[in-house]
Chain A
Amino acid sequence: MAPNIPGSSPSNLPAAGKAKSSRGNRADALVTLLATIGIAVVLNALLTQSNVRADLTEQGIHTLSPASVKAATDLEGVTITAYISKKLPETVPVPGGGKMALKGIERAFRDKLEEYAAASGGKVKLIYAEDNNPGIGTIEEQAEAAKLEPFSSSEAQLAGSELKFARYAMGATFHYQTVHEVLPKALQLGFLEFEITKILLRLKEKHEAAQVQKEPLAQGKAVFEAVKACTELVQKKGKVEDAKDEGAAGLSLKGSTDPTQKRLEGLQAAKEDIAKTCGQVATALSAATKLRGKSQFGDQLLTNAEQFKSISDELLQYISGKAEEAKDKPKQAAMAVTQLSSMLEEFFREVDRAHTNLADSPGRKVVGFLCGHDEFCPFAEQEPLFPEQAAMMMGQNNPMMKQIVQAATQIAQGIDDTNSRIGDNLFTRRGYSIRRVAADEPIPAEISALIVYAPRRALSEYTSYQLDQFLVAGKPVVLFAQEWDAAVMNMAPAEDLAQEMRLDYTNIAPSGSNLQDWLRPYGVDLKRELTMDSKHVENIKLMKLVNRGGLQFQTQQDFPYALIPVATKFDRSHPLSKSLESLPLPYPTSVEPSAELAKDSRFEVVKILQSSESSLKKTPPLPLLPPALKEWVLKEQPTGPHTLALYVRGPFKSAFSGKELPKRPEKQQTDPSRPPEKVSANDPEMQKRTFKSEGAGKLLVVASNLGIEGLSRGAVLKGFDMSKMAQFSAEIIKEYQGWNANFQNWQIRIGQVSHLLGDNLQFLTNVIDWSTSHEALVEIRSKGDSRRPLQQLQDGEAKNLRIGALLAGPLLLIAAGLLRWRLRKSRHAALRV
């Protein structure tokens, strides 16, 4: 053992010790110790660049999946530029007021990027943006320019005499050929692999699609560049400098003190330049023939650019003094120019946004959400609740009515805002392209997959037919079913006007969905009984009134809830359930394949999610309050497992085969003053419709809304009727109170299952990825955040388990000690003998 270490010589050899002076020994020891420390430091420092590790987790959570490795090796010549601030804060604020610690996040991010670069075999090049390079600014400035999302720390820092929140960056840009993508913020460690692989896959799709759409994209870029050049020139020439800087850039004229006048004079001085540069917008617009009518974003870009052009034309009129309204009125002209300049900037921003979307659109798949049946529809309504004129008329004679109209409008606005926020935050910002599919309208051709999310009103024959055709055409249809409307401790709807609202309304009623009927022809049996469980359940959060010192407080309490069973059985062959460990499903029913479908070998039938053996099915009425329900469920005989999500793939036959094709219903107008919109007998959509009898379709049915309840005007403003509103009555006030309660009840119900929404939204986004053929992403995301729940323990079980585990170790140790003591004692006794 280390014979060279001076201290390692046998201690009983006195000659060795005495040969050296004590000072020499001390010096030797010090040198060896310092050398050891030095070696340790160097070794550790050298290893900071290494990435040798073993991932022991069952699903290899911290190792790149084969899909990620493939994504990295599929592209030749990707450059990743990482932007990482030199000093990151300890915590960053998170929505809802909390803080997220950033400890170790930088190292994990670097490791992950390096893992991709290493896995690509040299195809992915990784570079780190450097700080304070001359001319390119700090890392944070570079990140901002590269369209990353810099973030602030939780704590402000003192900068001079001011408290400032410093800005930090941690993200990357990915370049491949002519396309690029951005990872704006890499703070979610669990999903880093998902995000990076998603970007790599997207780069590939985008590049391929961009090759096909080269011309329209180039035309869109030309329009954008022309608009940008015009805006920049107008900004530059119309810039009003401070008095001190006058004359420096020649942008302001001496003698004028009024900034609007100064701007006008500056622009007038450069009117020829402006006319020439802004004239390019018209040229680019007229050349954009391949862009028009080809895509939503292309049309948006052109519309905004056309509006931009008309404003710039008007501006030129004022600058050149040709505007009739301002002839010989310099003050008015100056004001108009200021206004038009700011409008120009506004439209430039719109053009910029549309161009960004257009440049990003190639290869992006569009997912449709069916709307119009009180389902989850993450979009604002397209029409106002009250047409402007009607609202004014209704409030004219009755101030009370005016108030109700205003309040109802506010509720409708609240619903719209909430839905658009949900759509934006959950989908658009995460890179999904989603589109509203209106009821009784044809499904747009651009839709790649359709989601019908828990409708609570029946689908019309026409909509059913549209879905049928979408399915048999081989496109994925995903249905989330909500067969019951459950209210547990909700706001009680007002029974009379004098009554105060209470928080004890508990009720369950069938929803008005007809998904069961729609599914039957395809061999899928959506059951109406509710599925519940006694052991594998999640909690519900209920508000409770607590009396403390004579004062009543509202507190929230968690109750294990049998009507939120946790799916515990998963088919590991399906990407959606391959890596799942659990999924709580509020108020689910169940779904089974019919006997014929199960036997039909042409169909692939997969029971994706199943409840546990301890689950059972019952049709209401049943006790809904958690303790009573628990007691009730324990008395019932378990009948599980039950299928909670079913996937069927195969050559579906149209349910409308041999039937007369349903006609498109007439569109109802909310504005009573306008006649209903008639659908012409020569409806072009009807004309071009070709009947598809069979095709290989993908159908996924989930027997729950995952706790994500739709917020819609129909569900909140129940009984809303414009004609009734025109005549004021006490009934309307009562109805209005009901609307208020409905809106609050939606919030209450979402709050009751808010703790489940994180996991369930992951499942929803997985479903979207799966439906748009990004199955590899599903697997990667699932492994990033797979919760492993404990089963529900009955009273006393947890206590016994806890005591058992606490005492078992020490008791074992003591027992071993006693045994050892006894053995020693008997050995000593034997020796004595």
Chain B
Amino acid sequence: MNAVLTLARRELAATFDSPIAYIAGAVFLVVTGLLFFFGHDGTADFFAAREATLRPLFEYAPWVMAVILPAVTMRLVAEEKKSGTLELLVTLPITDLQIVMGKLLGAIGFLAVTLAATLVFPIAVATIGHPDLGAVAGGYVGLLLIGVAFLSLGLLTSTWTHNQIIAFIVGLLLCVFFWTATDALLKVAFDRPPLALQLLSFKTQFDDFTKGVVDLRNVVYFLSVSAVAVIGSVYSLQSRHWK
């Protein structure tokens, strides 16, 4: 466990030593903020709607996360592979699982910091109204879980290639697919998507959190996706021994 935490701290420090964390964080905050206040087409006006709710934030933030988080994870393994530092890392007395978990926890640290910075929105709303703080807390729990799932998927794609751009693009596609599994992509393929595929959608699983409900089914779902992605990443790293 100590090894994982040490690695996580190292990763988090490395993330914040590079300008990419600040750029990604700032872009996330600005874009989420703009979407929160103006809606996706710029016509909605939060203040004109006159309702003390954070729903628009929880509606748009996962979209932005689906784009930003693969940009954060793309370098986690791909960069190490390209620069050869991965070989150095694997010489340390730690398992591949510990490497993956350490890197993931480091990325989760970045996510937590960025999400914490979005607290300015509920604070701003609370100065002029009384939002349901329970529902806000539920929304944040959901954002954290969906963020962890996105990071795991991004980490998985980062283990597949040396090229960060490819890792980012594949990660982005995976995240967007899972986010809108039923709403957009499956519509093309199915007249009415099967229930199993509907449940695959992060959006379907995320809805309850935005209402302030933390449902065990939704929590387990996001953790399952993350677990599968983590195990996948471990074997992807292991695959270097298979050649």
Contacts and interface: CB of A to CB of B under 8 A. Distances in A.
Contact of B220 (A11, A44, A812): A44
Interface stretch (B25-33, B69-77, B146-154, B160-168): B25-33
Given A793-B128, A813-B25, A43 B220 contact: yes
Please report whether the interface of chain B is mostly helix, strand, loop or mixed according to DSSP: helix
A791 B137 CA distance: 22
Contacts of A813: 22, 25-26, 29, 113-114, 117
A790 B52 contact: yes
Give the contact-size bracket for chain A: 35 or more
Contact of B232 (A33, A87, A789): A33
B101 interface: yes
Interface in A773-806: 787-791, 793, 798, 801-802, 804-806
Among A558, A809, A817, chain B packs the most CB atoms within 10 A around the CB of A809
B239 interface: yes
Interface string B113-154: 110011011011101111111110110010000000000000
A667 interface: no
Nearest to A16: B241
Nearest to A799: B47
Nearest to A1: B97
B95 to A, nearest CB: 4
A744 interface: no
B133 A5 contact: no
Interface string B88-115: 0011111111110100000000000110
Interface string A20-61: 001001100100110011001001100110101111111101
B235 A29 contact: yes
A32 B231 contact: yes
Interface string B77-88: 000000000000
B215 A40 contact: no
A17 B241 CA distance: 7
Nearest to B49: A790
Give the contact-size bracket for chain B: 35 or more
B94 A11 contact: yes
B96 A7 contact: yes
Contacts of A33: 228, 231-232, 235
B188 interface: no
Contacts of B241: 17, 22, 25
A9 interface: yes
A255 interface: no
B212 A57 contact: yes
B52 A87 contact: no
A54 B125 CA distance: 24
Contacts of A36: 227-228, 231
Nearest to A802: B37
A810 B207 contact: no
B93 A61 contact: no
Contacts of B48: 558
Among B51, B217, B239, chain A packs the most CB atoms within 10 A around the CB of B217
Nearest to A566: B50
A6 interface: yes
Interface of B: 1, 4, 16-17, 19, 21-22, 25-26, 29-30, 33-34, 37, 46-48, 50-53, 90-99, 101, 113-114, 117-118, 120-121, 123-125, 127-135, 137-138, 141, 192, 199, 204, 207-208, 211-217, 220-221, 224-225, 227-228, 231-232, 234-235, 237-239, 241-243
9 contacts: A1-B4, A12-B93, A44-B224, A58-B134, A62-B211, A538-B50, A789-B51, A802-B47, A813-B117
Given A790-B52, A805-B120, 12 more contacts: A2-B97, A5-B97, A22-B243, A29-B239, A44-B224, A54-B213, A59-B132, A61-B212, A808-B120, A809-B118, A812-B117, A812-B120
